[in-house]
Structure 1
Amino acid sequence: MMTIYTVREGRTVRGEGIPTADELRAAIWIDLLAPTREEEQAVQAALNLEIPTREEMQEIESSSRLYKEEVALFLTANFLYGVDEGEYGSTAITFVLAESHLVTVRYATPKAFAVFSNRALRTPALLQSADGVMLGQFEQVVDRLADVLERVGADMDRASRAAFRNARSHSKVKVKARDAEMKDVLIALGEVGEVTSRANETLLGLSRILTFVGAEKSTAVRKEAKNSIKTLMRDVRSLVEHAAFLNNKANFLLDAVLGIINIDQNGIIKTFTVASVALMPPTLVASIYGMNFAHMPELGWHLGYPLALLVMVVSGVLPVFYFKRKGWL
């Protein structure tokens, strides 16, 4: 789907479908969402720009993601999307920045893009220049990632409190309820780590793009945009540091939760070990008197049977008292 944004008489005009070549040349921002071959050819013919294919956008080499052709800059990075829906992922988005046009090629819709397009409809000043549109989108992405990281931090704090509250809870708490709560904590920490990693990937991609744009001498980037680029780079660096902090905290909490689970499991194993050790002497006594030898004097005693039972009980209780005295129980 192709969407074009043009400013006419102080108003933002949005058009969909395949416009004419004149309409494409008049547009400030051309947004291609999962474009068809016909849409790609229309943009290429009108603007004399080569639109990268989806396979080319997936390449990870820096030279394939950040390069210049004549005056146009081709910038590709992975962006986080789908956090609100719970089905998050990363999608490659390419920005083709020319002197008077910005072409975005994407196959998913991060929320920051939808928010920026709605803002552009209300505020035509956002579409004054192609590089201004791109930097405005980057600012929206950075703001969105900041909100995501704040939410991730809050989710991590809740998971942390739940884990340690569970660890301090008394033994009267049902085992199934504790196991279910610890499972929820592990799932929450796993999601936190996944979202943080993908957010960090987006921030690193933005950092590379901004560094490339700031260093590249191109008429597509105005001198007035340099200050915005520097500000964005500072914001991106601060978020990268915060994302690294959250990732380290998630790893620490994951280790702590696994340690708590190991302690609980060790307690269960210890119980089974004590039970097996306590049952070994009675089993030995019962095995001895279960042998089929002809001459076993105890079998003829009148009190032989209750005496054997008494020996089995005493031999089973003594190890338990020994373990308690040692503090192993």
Structure 2
Amino acid sequence: MMTTYTVREGRTLRHEGIPAPEALRDAVWIDLLNPSPEEEKAVQAALCLEIPTREEMQEIESSSRLYKEDEALFLTASFLYGVDEGEFGSTAITFVLAERSLVTVRYATPKAFALFANRVLRTPALLASPDGVMLAQFEAVVDRLADVLERIGADMDRASKSAFRNARSTKKVKVKARDADLKDVLIALGQVGEVTSRANETLLGLSRILSFVGAEKSIAVRKENKGGIKTLMRDVRSLVEHAAFLNNKANFLLDAVLGIINIDQNGIIKTFTVASVALMPPTLVASIYGMNFAAMPELQWQFGYPAALLVMVVSAVLPILYFKRKGWL
């Protein structure tokens, strides 16, 4: 789907579909979502630009993601999307920055893009220049990532409190309930790690784009927007550091939760070990008197059976008392 944004008489005009070539050349921002071959051909014919294919956008080397053709800059990065829906992922988005138009090629809709599109309709000043539109989009993405990282940090704090509260609790907690809580904590920490890694991927992609645009001497980037590039780079660096901090904290909490689980498992194994050791002497006594030898004096003794039972009980109690004295129970 093609959506064009044009400013006329101080108002933002939004058009969906393929417009006339003149209208396409007048558009400040051309947004291509899952573009059809006809839409790609229309943009290429009107702007004399080569729109990259989806396969080309998936390339990971820098020379395929950041390059210049004539005076147009081709900038590709991976962006986080779908966090609110719980089905998050990363999608490659290409920004083709020309002197008079900005073309975005994408196959998913990050929330920051949807919010920015609505904001453009209310604020036509955002469409003053193509590079200004791109930098404003990057600013919206950075603001959105900051909100995501803040929420992820809050979720991680709740998960850590839940884990350590159960670990420190002196009350008897049902095993199933405690296992369910620890499972929820592990799932939450796994999601935190996944989201922070994808957010970090987005931030690193933005950092490369901003560095490339700031160093590239192109007429598509206006002097008045150079300061905005430096500000965005500082914001991106601060978020990269915060994402790294959250990732390290998630790894620490993951190790702590796994340690709690190991302690619980060791307690269970200790219980089974004590039970098996305590049952070994009675088993030995019962095995001895289970032999079918004719010359066993105790077999003819009137108190032989209760005496054997007493020996088995005493032989089971003595190891337990010894373990308690040593502090192993």
Q: Normalising TM by the smaller chain, what interval? A: over 0.9
Aligned 1:298-317 pairs, distance under 5 A: 298-317=298-317
The runs of at least 4 aligned residues of structure 1 exceeding 3 Å deviation read none
In the alignment, the residues of structure 2 paired with residue 327 and residue 173 of structure 1 have an alpha-carbon distance, to the nearest angstrom, of 23
Assess, with a 3 A threshold, how the Cα gap between structure 1 residues 43 and 250 changes in structure 2: closer, same or farther.
same
Aligned 1:167-206 pairs, distance under 5 A: 167-170=167-170, 172-206=172-206
AA in 2 matched with 1:269: I
Q: Deviations over 1:222-259 (max 9, x none)?
A: 01111000000000000000000000000000000000
In the alignment, the residues of structure 1 paired with residue 24 and residue 286 of structure 2 have an alpha-carbon distance, to the nearest angstrom, of 94
Give secondary structure in 2 for the equivalent of 1:135. Answer: helix
Give secondary structure in 2 for the equivalent of 1:224. Answer: helix
Aligned 1:138-287 pairs, distance under 5 A: 138-170=138-170, 172-287=172-287
Aligned 1:74-89 pairs, distance under 5 A: 74-89=74-89
Identity %: 85
Give secondary structure in 1 for the equivalent of 2:56. Answer: helix
TM-score normalised over the length of structure 2: 0.99
> Could you tell me which residue of structure 1 aligns to residue 297 of structure 2?
297
> Could you tell me which residue of structure 2 aligns to residue 101 of structure 1?
101
AA in 2 matched with 1:145: L
AA in 1 matched with 2:216: E
AA in 2 matched with 1:12: T
In the alignment, the residues of structure 2 paired with residue 71 and residue 86 of structure 1 have an alpha-carbon distance, to the nearest angstrom, of 40
> Could you tell me which residue of structure 2 aligns to residue 122 of structure 1?
122
Matched, 1:327 2:327: yes
Give secondary structure in 2 for the equivalent of 1:172. Answer: coil
Q: Single out whichever of 164-173 and 24-33 deviates more from structure 2.
A: 164-173
Q: Deviations over 1:193-228 (max 9, x none)?
A: 100000000000000000000001100000111100
Task: Give 5+ residue unaligned stretches, structure 1.
Answer: none
Deviation of 1:170 after TM superposition, in Å, equals 2.8
Deviation of 1:171 after TM superposition, in Å, equals 5.2
In the alignment, the residues of structure 1 paired with residue 107 and residue 61 of structure 2 have an alpha-carbon distance, to the nearest angstrom, of 20
AA in 2 matched with 1:21: P
Q: Deviations over 1:11-67 (max 9, x none)?
A: 000000111111110100000001011110110011000000000000001000000
In the alignment, the residues of structure 1 paired with residue 166 and residue 63 of structure 2 have an alpha-carbon distance, to the nearest angstrom, of 50
AA in 1 matched with 2:212: F
In the alignment, the residues of structure 2 paired with residue 53 and residue 170 of structure 1 have an alpha-carbon distance, to the nearest angstrom, of 61
In the alignment, the residues of structure 1 paired with residue 240 and residue 133 of structure 2 have an alpha-carbon distance, to the nearest angstrom, of 23
In the alignment, the residues of structure 1 paired with residue 309 and residue 71 of structure 2 have an alpha-carbon distance, to the nearest angstrom, of 97
> Could you tell me which residue of structure 1 aligns to residue 71 of structure 2?
71
Count residues with an aligned counterpart: 329
In the alignment, the residues of structure 2 paired with residue 102 and residue 244 of structure 1 have an alpha-carbon distance, to the nearest angstrom, of 32
Task: Give 5+ residue unaligned stretches, structure 2.
Answer: none
AA in 2 matched with 1:71: E
AA in 1 matched with 2:130: A
In the alignment, the residues of structure 2 paired with residue 122 and residue 245 of structure 1 have an alpha-carbon distance, to the nearest angstrom, of 37
Deviation of 1:298 after TM superposition, in Å, equals 1.2
Q: Deviations over 1:99-135 (max 9, x none)?
A: 0100000000000000100000000000000000000
TM-score normalised over the length of structure 1: 0.99
AA in 1 matched with 2:77: A
Q: Deviations over 1:250-309 (max 9, x none)?
A: 000000000001001100110010001000110111111111122111111111110110
